[in-house]
Amino acid sequence: MEELMLELKNEIIKVLNLEGIKPEDINDDDEMFSKGLGLDSIDALELIVMLEKNYGIKLTDPAKGKEIFKSIRVMAKYVAENRKK
At residue 25, φ and ψ (nearest 5 deg) are -80, -15
70 CB-near residues (< 8 Å, 6+ apart): 31, 32, 33
* Number of residues lying near other proteins (CB under 8 A): 18
Site string for other proteins, 17-56 (x = CB under 8 A): xxxx-----------------x-xxxx-xx-xx--xx---
Q: What minimum distance in Å lies between the beta carbon of 1 and other proteins?
A: 26
CA separation for the pair 75, 47 (Å, rounded): 10
- Binding footprint of other proteins on the chain (CB under 8 A): 16-20, 38, 40-43, 45-46, 48-49, 52-53, 60, 62
